[in-house]
Structure 1
Amino acid sequence: MMKLQSISFDFFQRVGRSMMAVVLILPLVSILMGLGGVLLNPNVHEILPFLSNNGFQVTGELMQRAGQVVFNNLPVLFAVAIAITWTGAGMAGFSSLIAFFILHTVLGSLIDITDLKINEKMLGTELGIETMQTGVFGGILIGFLTAYLYNKFHRTKLPDAISLFSGERLVPIVASFAAIGVAVLFYFIWPLVGMGILALGEYVATHTNPVVVGLYGGIEKLLIPFGLHHIYNTPLLFTEIGGSYEALEGARIVGDQNVYIAQVIDKLRDPSVTLTGGTYIAGKFIPVMFGLPAAALAMIRVAHDRRKAKARSLLIAAAVTAFLTGITEPLEFTFLFVAPVLYGVHALLTAVAFGLANFLEMKAGFAGGSGLIDFVLFNVLPNHSNAWLLTIGLGLVFGVIYYFTFRTLIITRNLKTPGREDTEEETRLYTKDEAREKMGITQQHGQVETKDCNSRAHQILEALGGKENITKLDACISRLRVGVKNADQVDEEMLKKLGASGVLKVADGVQAVYGTRSSVIKEEIREVMEKER
């Protein structure tokens, strides 16, 4: 019988983390595509006529195509990224790529040989292979299947005669046969599943309303602290559930985010293209670009005078990050752990913003992040609708609401937001210099004592309960994400003294917020664990 632990909190946060490996590349791709769109945009040519010459036009076309290829190949990217991030092994990613090729080659061959009659919308190509469209679902399945097979077989020893294929070299072979089995299974069941997804996508695309869209935005925000939001929003953003669109070049684009980007690009070539994408995500700019910076201002204004400078330096940096790039976690986590009620208000206001954007029939979107960069590149400069003007107007209103709501709650409830801690020891957030001081100087009077033989990573490892207590070690943009056998063995206060601005313990998962240093700390801990073997 499958153990409950296999479907535990740690399992699901690892799933979300694996998917995020693909999502994190999209901001760079969005800049590439956005700049290409600027060079091709006739509105920009009226201001900068020299951009209309052939050299700039060819450059713009190349940049857009280079970026678009990432969105067009998300299934294989999910397959490879999930296999690597789940196992930490390059061979797993290589095996997943092979399995992906075989899956679609066999599936396409079965359709051709049997002359299977299915909806044309379900047929297409993957990496040039004519096959049945399984979208990112197929890629995700192959990624996790290969990761499972890697963990099961990468230490297998074969008889001497075939020992060449022992260990990791056995995994591509096993994964290949598994992919054939999956292809046969998909041949029989995916036509029904695919038709169901198409029907659901059609229904969602034609039956959206402010309540549904608002709930989508609010729930996504509530899942962020647990690292589960990528599991939740991936189907809507990147699959048929989020709608579909037949691009001018003939490709079938699926997912609310993908459809919006494709339509923005096509509309530059053909103004008659109607925007249908961006239905669900149009409201995201409002809380990210306007609400959270206003909340940061409120926290700065109510900070105690003796700590206002410290709070200002921390909160301004986090607010600018959110405003420019759409990465909100550093700012959200500054108040999540010390004042959860503020995060609840933030989620509620986010839901209202999403629902209001849908009520006003706004179509807006982003390729990589919901910050100023994507807002300008994919909304302001294309100027395909008045949604960007409405976003600014609503954003200013929400900024005022955020500011006074946060300020009022902090003062009336005496919430310990950055700069309002009662004593120096209760400070949850540190500047870079203070964090280094906390981690590197021997302290007396019950403080953390740094031994010569102990590194920061060694101390954090001890605070997590030691190597034996860790089942999975990972990190995202701002958090160290650890699966543990026993959460009670984790010393939360010690982690905070070692620089964590917050610690979240849920069942068998622990998340410690170390900001952008999290991935470095993860590798340092991994090295310590390797040395202790």
Structure 2
Amino acid sequence: MANDKNVSTQVVDKELLKQQRQAKRAEKKAAFANTKFGKNWNQFKGASFSKLQNLARVIVFPIAVLPIAGLFLGIGGGFSAAAVSGNWGDGWVNFFNIMKSIGDVVFACLGVLFCTSVAFGFAKQSKGVAAVSAFIAYVVMSATMMALFLPTTNTAGDAVVQFDPWKLAGDNGLISVGTNKGMLKSVLGISPTLDLSVLGGIVVGWLMSIVHNKTYNIKVPRVLGFFGGEKFVPIAGFFLGVISGIALFFIWPGFLQLLYLIGTGLGSLMGVGGQEEYSRTAGALVAMFFGITERLLIPMGLHHVQYTPFWYTSAGGEWLTPVIDANNVITGWTMTSGAYPIFFEQMKWMGGNGWEMTDEAYRILEANDVWFKNFSDQLIQVGDTWKIAFNRTTNEVGTMFMSGRFAFMQYGYPFGAAAMIMLSKPENRKQSSGILISAAATSFLTGITEPILFSFLFVAPMLYLFDAFMAGISFMMAYLLNVTVGQGFAAGFIDWIFFGVIPGFSSGVATQGAPGYTIFGAWAGRTGALWIPIYGLAIMSPAYFFGFWAIIKAKDYKTPGREEVGEESVATQALKASLAKGTKAESQTAEKLLKALGGKANIIDIDHNKTELIIEVKDASKVSEGVVKTTGSKAMKVEG
């Protein structure tokens, strides 16, 4: 009995200490909140959180179309690449290219779609005017940047830029150089220009909404009366585009060049494509860093610049491509640079019983001591010729900066979506499940991740950081396991089958290949394709599910389906009725609600969604919650 009492006393003491610690933390928090800095900080935090919530609400329009566009883009892109490499015929190639083009137009216009959506959502009145004006601002901004490049054609017939202070197009100003590096783009047919993608679109749309809210009812002299009011907003949008274009022309390329240098530096650090020995520890860390930074740069559209050095330049490796004559004899070699071209060359020559080559071709191969020779399974002399067979893709050259995408896109995101669905409110679960399941399916099948990423990016920043970290883990695991699955378009299930499983287990080639090409044996295939679902389900799936669950619960993030909703309140109905010139009783209810909120002078902004009236006030102390509830509102939530 004495022992039981001691245990009980210890439990009580621990609980008491816990309560005391909580009370002290609450006391410190209250004391901080009463300081000038604390008040300003809480006000800033509340306003920022409110703006982020509003942002998440207004970008729902472009997000809604992403899953279906992603399926078209992913299926079309994945199967068109497979059709080309598998020689399916022009008919199939053209069919899938059409699908790809239809889906690609949405993703190519993400910047302007988010721009118009944000301006539409944040506008207080005349939302359509704000959206059109934002479109004008975005187009003018892109055209201004293009004009500043002073594009022309040189005497050799090459498209060049005459003014390029950041050397995006190289020393000779060739537009093709800037395009191949991922720095110069075509935006809505405006080329060459800079593509600011989603983040740029959001910023321009937000600025346009501010300009719109200050100018939509502007008064102008009578002689200029036609340009007053709402008609002034597109004019303001035009000049906003000019100013933004000039500023970003000189600022944005700095970020592009920095990322390109980082990418090239990582390739040099790894010794990719070189002859020297490399450290697998260093390689694993580089792969992890690559995965993390790629995810972090997606909202700004800068991830294209980050991976371009690896995919299309010697930073991603160099590989000798055989030159074949009419008799199927290798007569020489050409140098192929960049992970993406190398991978498809490897796919082209992998398998078979080998190709004969001339003595001269062999001497070139022997003198260069390159990856092709190092990883050849057969190199034997037959009479006066040499014979070579190539039985697998390589990790360090070709797929190191591709293979890590598959596991978290196929097995991480769907389980993250499952966590968000399970944490959604029961009354919202059906609606949230629709968009999240379609987004997860798009990610799994095609590797298009924007639909699922944008569902939580702006409302749950910690989830975004967690996602980037797990992407890094996925790249590191793929590297350590020697997974060599490449991608024709994106890292979905379709590409995994065509560029991982089929070449990994196709008939006619010995599975073993070169000794040690996969550290756990030959059973995973020449490409190590089977490791992806194994570590995907063992590591990525539980990490994403429980990670998303814990972070959402801890931070109370309003991910899809967790918004405060219920039946439409009488207050919302009354406001709608008064705006629509409803009955006298409804107008009186609206007037009563207005007074309870501190009067018209206390209201900064009014908005609503399907079930909530969202009101931003200057002074919350002037709001009478009791009177508000008498208007029929079931609940009231104060933030900030």
What is residue 326 of structure 2 aligned with on the other side? none
State the AA in 2 paired with 1:167.
G
CA deviation after TM superposition for structure 1 residue 156, in Å: 0.9
Among 124, 128, 133, the alignment partner of 2:194 is 133
> Quick one: which amino acid aligns to residue 82 of structure 1?
V
Deviation by residue 1:298-357 (Cα, 9 ceiling, x = unmatched):
x9xxxxxxxxx99x999999996675356779x99xxxxxxx9xx999997995575144
Would you say 1:394 and 2:528 are equivalent positions?
A: no
Deviation at 1:63, TM superposition (A): 1.2
The equivalent of 1:95 in structure 2 is 133
| CA deviation after TM superposition for structure 1 residue 215, in Å | 7.1
The match for 1:471 is 605
| Cα distance change, pair 146–200 in 1 and its aligned pair in 2 (3 A) | farther
C-alpha distance in 2 between matches for 1:91 and 1:455: 23
Aligned to 2:236: 174
The separation in 2 between residues aligned to 1:475 and 1:364, in whole angstroms, is 44
Deviation at residue 64 of structure 1 after TM alignment: 0.9
CA contact (8 A) 1:202 1:243 kept: no
Say yes or no: does 1:119 pair with 2:137. no
- CA shift in 2, pair 1:161/1:247, >3 Å: farther
| Contact 1:379–1:388 (Cα < 8 Å) also in 2 | yes
The match for 1:149 is: 211
- Determine whether 1:324 maps to 2:441: yes
- 1:25 corresponding residue in structure 2: 65
1:69 aligned onto 2:210: no
Are positions 1:289 and 2:351 aligned together?
no
Q: Provide the rounded CA distance (Å) in 2 between the counterparts of 1:212 and 1:480.
A: 42
Task: Say which of 371, 376, 389 aligns to 2:493.
Answer: 376
- The superposition leaves residues 442-481 of structure 1 with CA deviations (integer Å, 9 ceiling, x where unpaired) of xxxxxx9x89x8799999x98xx969768364669xx979
What amino acid maps onto 1:119 in structure 2? Answer: L
Once the two structures are superposed, residues 6-51 of structure 1 have per-residue CA deviations (whole angstroms, 9 ceiling, x without a partner) of 96222234445555644443222111123324653647998xx9xx
SS in 2 for 1:69: helix
- Whole-Å Cα distance in 1 between the matches of residues 212 and 340 of structure 2? 40
Q: 1:10 to 1:237 in 2, by over 3 A?
A: same
What's the CA shift for 1:54? 5.2
Kindly indicate whether the alpha-carbon contact (under 8 Å) linking 2:78 and 2:489 is maintained by their aligned counterparts in 1.
no
* 1:355 matches 2:473: yes
Matches within 5 A, 1:321-470: 324=441, 351=469, 354-361=472-479, 375-380=492-497, 383=500, 389-398=530-539, 439=567
| Selected match of 2:307 from 243, 252, 273 | 243
- Secondary structure at the aligned position of 1:130 is classed as strand
Q: Is the 8 A contact 1:286 1:394 kept in 2?
A: no
Q: Distance in 1 between matches of 2:44 and 2:638?
A: 18
Determine the structure 1 residue equivalent to 2:143: 105
| Matched residue SS, 1:8 | helix
Mapped to 1, the partners of 2:637 and 2:136 lie a distance apart of: 38
Q: 1:210 to 1:115 in 2, by over 3 A?
A: closer
CA deviation vs aligned residue, 1:374-420 (integer Å, no higher than 9, x gap): 843454455488686434222432489579989xx9xxxxx9xxxxx
- Supply the distance in 2 between the matched residues of 1:200 and 1:293 (Cα, whole angstroms): 35
Give distance in 2, aligned partners of 1:27 and 1:190.
29
- For 1:246-281, what per-residue CA distance to the aligned partner results, in whole angstroms no more than 9, with x for missing partners? 999xxxxxxxxxxxxx979x9699869945457578
Q: Is 2:129 aligned against 1:80?
A: no
> How big is each residue's C-alpha offset from its partner over 1:144-199, in whole Å with a ceiling of 9 and x where there is no partner?
33222211111112222221111121111122123223333344444445433544
Paired with 1:349 and 1:192, the residues of 2 have a C-alpha distance of: 26
- Whichever residue aligns with residue 86 of structure 1, its letter is F
- The AA in structure 2 aligned to 1:392 is P
Q: Distance in 1 between matches of 2:268 and 2:633?
A: 51
Name the SS for the 2:217 alignment partner. Answer: coil
Question: Partners in 2 of 1:163 and 1:123 — Cα distance?
Answer: 41
One-letter amino acid of the counterpart of residue 12, structure 1? L
Matches of residues 486-505 of structure 1 in structure 2 within 5 Å? none
SS across alignment from 1:360? helix
1:287 partner amino acid: G
Question: Which amino acid in structure 1 is aligned with residue 133 of structure 2?
Answer: S
Task: Mark the CA change 1:150 to 1:109 in structure 2 (over 3 Å): closer, same or farther.
Answer: same
Deviation, 1:57, is 3.7
Pick closer, same or farther for the CA change 1:269–1:233 going to 2, 3 Å. same
- Taking the aligned partners of 1:112 and 1:471, their CA distance within structure 2 comes to 43
**Structure index of larger Rg:** 2
Does the 8 A contact of 2:130 with 2:208 survive in 1?
yes
Q: TM-score, normalised by structure 2?
A: 0.47
Q: Would the aligned equivalents of 1:197 and 1:240 in 2 still touch at CA under 8 Å? A: no
1 or 2, which has the higher helix percentage?
1
Q: Which residue identity lines up with residue 184 of structure 1 in the other structure? A: I
Check conservation: 1:27, 1:367, Cα contact below 8 A. Answer: no
Q: Secondary structure at the match of 1:471?
A: strand
Mapped to 1, the partners of 2:104 and 2:529 lie a distance apart of 23
Residue 294 of structure 1 deviates from its aligned partner by: 8.8
CA contact (8 A) 2:120 2:209 kept: yes
In 2, the alpha carbon distance for the partners of 1:164 and 1:96 equals 20
User: In 2, are the aligned partners of 1:44 and 1:381 still within 8 Å (CA)?
Assistant: no
RMSD across aligned C-alpha pairs, in angstroms?
6.4
Residues 484 and 123 (structure 1 numbering): CA distance in 2 closer, same or farther, change over 3 Å? same
**Change beyond 3 A, Cα 1:23–1:234:** farther
- The change in CA–CA distance for 1:388 and 1:143 in structure 2 (over 3 A counts) is farther
1:234: how far off? 3.8
Tell me, in whole angstroms, the C-alpha distance in 2 between the residues paired with 1:397 and 1:167.
60
Structure 1 residues 351 and 5, CA, compared in 2 at 3 Å: closer, same or farther?
closer
Question: Aligned pair in 2 of structure 1 residues 108, 482: CA closer, same or farther (>3 Å)?
Answer: same
- Measure, in 2, the Cα distance between the counterparts of 1:21 and 1:366: 29
- Of 196, 202, 222 in structure 2, the residue corresponding to residue 160 of structure 1 is 222
Whether contact under 8 Å (1:84, 1:90) holds in the other structure is: yes
Cα separation, partners in 2 of 1:352 and 1:210, compared to 1, 3 Å: farther
Distance 1:18 1:193, change over 3 A: farther
Measured against aligned partners, the alpha-carbon deviations of 1:416-436 in whole angstroms (never above 9, x if no partner) come to: xxxxxxxxxxxxxx9xxxx99
Instruction: Give the match's secondary structure for 1:125.
Output: strand
Q: 1:129 deviation in Å?
A: 2.8
Q: Say yes or no: does 1:60 pair with 2:96.
A: yes
- 1:35 corresponds to: 75
CA contact (8 A) 2:607 2:614 kept: yes
Where does structure 1 lack aligned partners over 5 or more consecutive residues?
221-231, 249-261, 300-308, 333-339, 369-373, 410-414, 416-429, 441-447, 508-533
Mark the CA change 1:164 to 1:188 in structure 2 (over 3 Å): closer, same or farther.
same
CA distance in 1 between partners of 2:497 and 2:624 (Å):
48
Distance (whole Å) between structure 2 residues aligned to residue 100 and residue 346 of structure 1? 27
The change in CA–CA distance for 1:282 and 1:348 in structure 2 (over 3 A counts) is same
Distance 1:203 1:28, change over 3 A: farther
CA 1:456–1:320 in structure 2 vs 1: closer, same or farther (change >3 Å)? farther
Cα offset, 1:102, TM superposition: 2.5
Q: Answer whether contact 1:470 1:484 (CA < 8 A) is retained.
A: yes
Normalization by structure 1: what TM-score? 0.54
